[in-house]
Chain A
Amino acid sequence: MLKISTAPHMSSPVDTPILMRDVVIALMPAAIVSVLFFGLAAIVVIISSVAACMLCEYAVCRWLLHKKSTLHDYSAIITGLLLAYNLPAGFPVWMILIGAFVAIVISKMAFGGLGKNIFNPALVGRVFLFVSFPLQMTTWPKPHFLDFWGADAQTGATTLGILKQLDASTSATALSKYGPNLDDLPNYWQMFIGYTGGCLGEVSAAALLLGLAYMLWSRVISWHIPFYYLSTVFILTSILWLTKGSPVYDPVTHLLSGGLMLGAIFMATDYVTSPMSTNGKIIFAIGCGVLTVIIRLCGAYPEGVSFAILIMNAFVPLIDRFAAPRIFGTRRK
């Protein structure tokens, strides 16, 4: 029997699972680096987070929605990986389960599943854990390179944490003898490679940039969001650094530390929660950059990437509406 169908009669080989699988591949370098630096603790966090996210999605599909499970599209794995990357090594497993539940069930499936959520599920999970368990979320083990078991792991502050305290102590006239000082800061090379305290996935800018290169090469994402996000942060901090001269505003440190790279490359570029048109993506990325700098430098928290992206997520429908592409044949603006 002949078949008839509507045009077009061929379609691109790239489908949703392939795109998502490419994102998972792009996330792998960061996973390897985190295992190298944090050892077993990193593996525990990553595996439990991914497994918990997949389990949550499966359970919701199976027992709540009574439909075929959507695990095959890899999106739960990405959420799991990203959630793990946003947690410090050695984070208690039962808290990871709560985070995965919030990420998948509340932030994603409750909105209708893949494609319908407003906020990035992994970020919602992270922020939930961050405000619920602030102590555990800020206990960052120091990296112990190639020491797999890492039994005697010490804990320390992140780069941004040091900057924040530095900022606080300089502005509060009394320079404390025991307060943080500049020597505690890792050098640029350490920050680039990831030999610094922090969450699993965010320590190594090099691994994340490798992932970015892969995603650009395989055309999973366009360059706009990472480029505009990172440049906005770089330019704003540069202006402050040049006018105020304090190392607190050092643009390179800001670029390489905290969750900025992870956020700009993997979280802000999440298809579902970012604008669709190129103009919209630029507006979104600049918004994220400005909010990140404001939260980092003016807010109470040392880190602002997750809040910045979540806030901008909320504006996506508006951006989509007002940054629609120019229609062919209408006057150029």
Chain B
Amino acid sequence: MDNLILINIIILVSIALIAAAVLYFVSQKFKVTENPLIAEVENCLPHANCGACGKAGCHDFARACVNTAAEDFKKLYCPVGGNAVMCQIAHLLGHPDIIKEETVAVLRCQGSCQNAPDKVEYSGIAFCRIANKISSGRSGCPNGCLRLGDCVRACPFGAISMNKETGLPVVDEDKCTSCGTCVAICPRGIYEIRPKGAQTGRVYVACNNKQKGGIARKNCKTACIACQKCAKICPDIKIENNLSYIPTTVPADKFGAELAANCPTKAIVYIGNKNKEEEVKHD
């Protein structure tokens, strides 16, 4: 009886030893030697693997950081981690700090259920990319938001949510990492990555409609009608294809409030830096 127990123990222990030995040799044999810096850099990164930096993932980005010269390092930026992470990496690698202005995704459309009411009933599958193929959408605006939420589903950080009342997606400024997924997925290219404007606030044209003013207004109260008023206030503003565009270089603190107040259709949105409550758009 004692013998039996002993034999069992010996068998089990030897199996364990053999397995351990095999594992050891295999791990030695297939060991990949990599610059330990890469692992260190990777540890700083957010591990979202979103690809927003243009690399295949965080590991790839870390490798690129370590393997590039000081000049090229400036071109690398992790929009998710932001300045804090990039400074940390720069410190690790002995490069000068990288400071970029923080950016955020903005929806250039205010075609809510109220501003651009439904003209037809859409009963197909709730995917913008499909709806965009078969029609100009419920409101009739061929460039406006389809209000079906492809961006909400696509956002890897859960920063976009649907406002049930307006039907429009809302970007959570704090969660948004400006990774650009929404820009890529929106079939109408409504999203734009713009500077967050922590000090200055930000001002942009919240309309994407490239039709003539009269036609655009038929479908939406807040459409840009290319009336040139904004261009008169600030000459940097360009108007192309019946649509005004405010370049990111226009100082929002200087012109923002005036532009927004003077836009006859309230297509220009100014979000100041102080009162967060007032950020809620005009409607």
Contact = CB atoms under 8 A, between A and B. Distances in A.
Interface of A: 1-7
A103 to B, nearest CB: 34
B4 interface: no
A51 to B, nearest CB: 38
A5 B148 CA distance: 13
A5 B137 CA distance: 10
B118 interface: yes
B124 interface: yes
B125 A1 contact: no
B219 to A, nearest CB: 15
B121 A6 contact: no
Contacts of A3: 120-123
6 contacts: A1-B118, A2-B120, A3-B122, A4-B122, A4-B124, A6-B134
B118 A6 contact: no
A5 B122 contact: yes
A7 B135 CA distance: 12
A1 B121 CA distance: 7
Nearest to A2: B120
A1 B125 CA distance: 19
Q: Which DSSP category, helix, strand, loop or mixed, fits chain B's interface?
A: loop
Q: Lowest 4 A-B CB distances belong to which pairs?
A: A6-B124, A5-B124, A5-B123, A3-B121
B271 to A, nearest CB: 35
Interface string B124-165: 110000110011000000000000000000000000000000
Contacts of B130: 6
B31 interface: no
Contacts of A6: 124-125, 130-131, 134
Contacts of A1: 118-121
Interface of B: 118-125, 130-131, 134-135
A6 B125 CA distance: 7
B142 to A, nearest CB: 14
B134 A4 contact: yes
A250 B96 CA distance: 88
A5 B138 CA distance: 11
A4 B133 CA distance: 12
Nearest to B137: A4
A231 B72 CA distance: 71
Residue with the highest number of chain B CB atoms closer than 10 Å, among A3, A5, A7:
A5
Contacts of A7: 134
A206 B118 CA distance: 59
Nearest to A7: B134
Nearest to B138: A4
Nearest to B131: A6
Nearest to B133: A6
Contacts of B123: 3-5
Residue with the highest number of chain B CB atoms closer than 10 Å, among A1, A3, A4, A7:
A4
Given A4-B120, A6-B125, 10 more contacts: A1-B120, A3-B120, A3-B122, A3-B123, A4-B122, A4-B135, A5-B124, A6-B124, A6-B130, A6-B131
A7 B124 CA distance: 8
Contacts of B134: 4, 6-7
A6 B123 CA distance: 8
Contacts of B131: 6
A1 B140 CA distance: 13
A9 to B, nearest CB: 10
A88 to B, nearest CB: 45
A5 B131 CA distance: 8
B121 A2 contact: yes
Contacts of B124: 4-6
Contacts of B135: 4
Contacts of A5: 122-124
Contacts of A2: 120-121
A67 to B, nearest CB: 19
A1 B123 CA distance: 12
A4 B124 CA distance: 7
A71 B141 CA distance: 43
B197 to A, nearest CB: 39
B146 to A, nearest CB: 12
Contacts of A4: 120-124, 134-135
